[in-house]
Copies of this chain bind each other. A is one copy, B any other.
Amino acid sequence: MPASFPPLNLPTRLLHGPGPSPVAPSVLEALSKPCIGHMDPEFMRVMNEVREMLQAVFRTENEMTLACSGTGSAGAEMLMDNLVEPGDRCLIGVNGVFGGRLADKAGRAGGEVETMEIDWGLAFDQDTLIARVEELKPKLLAVVHAETSTGVHQPFDRLADAVHKHGGLLVMDCVTSFAGLPVEIDKWGVDAAYSGTQKCLSCPPGLAPVTLSERAMHKVNGRGSKVNSWYLDLTLVGNYWSGSRAYHHTAPVNMNYALHEALRLALEEGLDERFARHESAHQQLKAGLLQRGFEYASDPDHSLPMLNLVKVPDTIADEAAARKRLLNEHNLEIGGGLGALAGKCWRIGLMGHGARSENVDAILAALDSIG
């Protein structure tokens, strides 16, 4: 057993995988401000401002909007645990790893889970989803807005009515799209959504923005059974984030500072300008990749700007070794394929602070050097 280790000496990476993404200097600076108490009135002010800015990025007026004290996966679980009661029929769209996880979580929450599966790399046709909703009348439909495993952008604007008609709730995973693409919670009638901080917000990982509509909270407040999780129980967490301010858990104080600054930067830039910047970096990367003979592996009509799924070129025999070279020789991180796409695809992220022309240039130059 060593007495101790030396202080951390870490490389500086160009983060262009599926997240975490490059963090702006002022966000790291906010992260390291002196810690204050989780019940300090000044921290309550931080929480209020975080909530207000989250509402702006979610484009919602939902009162129940907060940063769940865990990573994006905890946010997903918070929604499933609170919105699903034992025996509830849930319909989950599965076209990648993260849809599959939602199905797993809905099942652990006691739901009777039906999945709707299509090939990875494709988006669901909304009419097909609606038809299945008409048939099953599920208590909950959950679909991934931006599949981080496939780079697919799922249209969401026409799903709510069919779900609501049968008293169901519409749930959205917007982990990778939040702050990089329009996420229109109120306009699209989404009842509950969750994200993560380490994608297009360019904040380190550790918190999960979530938002729930009044319709969703009606379901939560009317539950006949206790939520599986105490840590993620929204009636308890919600009382800490607003209302009575009753102590629940000790919030990750400094992570909330960082989220505050990341949200501030996003709103200062302007959401539409930020979306345009992501799209512009994507177009530049795409042109460069196509020019070099790379092929996209996701439906070109539904490509995410911030997550580019490309086939590993035939010229590269060992894709893991190639990614290792990018990391060791260029400090460039790109992502390997997940699940069924492992070994076959690469995922190149252009998220948040990293969605810039100079970053695209660096990515293409590094790819050239190992080609």
Using CB atoms and an 8 Å cutoff, list the residues of chain A in contact with chain B: 1-8, 10-13, 15, 17, 19-20, 22-23, 26, 28-42, 46, 49, 52-53, 55-56, 69-74, 77, 81, 101, 104-105, 107-108, 196, 198, 204-206, 226-231, 247-255, 257-258, 260-261, 264, 267-268, 270, 327, 333, 338
Q: What is the minimal beta-carbon distance from A144 to any residue of chain B, in angstroms?
A: 15
Q: What is the minimal beta-carbon distance from A182 to any residue of chain B, in angstroms?
A: 16
A204-B35, A264-B4 known; A71 vs B252 contact (CB < 8 Å) = yes
Q: Can you list 21 contacts pairing A with B, beta carbon distance less than 8 Å?
A: A3-B268, A4-B53, A5-B53, A5-B264, A8-B30, A8-B33, A10-B34, A10-B257, A11-B42, A13-B34, A13-B40, A15-B36, A15-B37, A23-B35, A31-B254, A32-B32, A69-B74, A71-B249, A74-B74, A205-B251, A206-B254
**Complex Cα gap A251–B70 (Å):** 9
Q: Are A253 and B204 in contact (CB under 8 A)?
A: yes
**Complex Cα gap A267–B1 (Å):** 11
Please give, as numbers and ranges, the residues of chain B lying within 8 Å of A250 by CB-CB distance: 19-20, 71-73, 196, 198, 205
**Complex Cα gap A250–B199 (Å):** 11
Please give, as numbers and ranges, the residues of chain B lying within 8 Å of A8 by CB-CB distance: 30, 33, 46, 257, 260-261
Residue with the greatest number of chain B CB neighbours at <10 A, chosen from A101, A228, A267: A228
Please give, as numbers and ranges, the residues of chain B lying within 8 Å of A254 by CB-CB distance: 28, 31, 204, 206, 258
Question: Which of B1, B3, B28, B252 contacts A255, CB < 8 Å?
Answer: B252
Q: Are A230 and B260 in contact (CB under 8 A)?
A: no
Question: Which of B34, B39, B229 contacts A28, CB < 8 Å?
Answer: B34
**Complex Cα gap A251–B23 (Å):** 15
